[in-house]
Amino acid sequence: MIHLESTVLGSPDPQAAVRFYARLLSWEIRNDERDWCTLRNPGGGPGLSFQLEDDFVRPVWPEQPGRQQMMMHLDLRVEDLQKAAAHAKECGAQRADHQPQDDVVVFLDPDGHPFCLFEK
Chosen CATH of 1-56 out of 3.90.1260.10, 3.30.720.120, 3.30.43.10, 3.40.190.170: 3.30.720.120
Which fold is adopted by the domain 73-120?
2,3-Dihydroxybiphenyl 1,2-Dioxygenase; domain 1 (3.10.180)
For the chain, domain boundaries? 1-56, 73-120
Tell me whether residue 60 is exposed, middle or buried, using C-beta atoms within 10 angstroms of its C-beta: 0 to 12, 13 to 18, 19 or more: middle
pLDDT digits 0-9 by tens, 80-113: 999 999 999 999 999 999 999 999 999 999 999 9
Q: What pTM does this model have?
A: 0.93
pLDDT digits 0-9 by tens, 4-14: 999 999 999 99
What residues form DSSP beta bridges with 39? 29, 48
What residues form DSSP beta bridges with 108? 94, 114
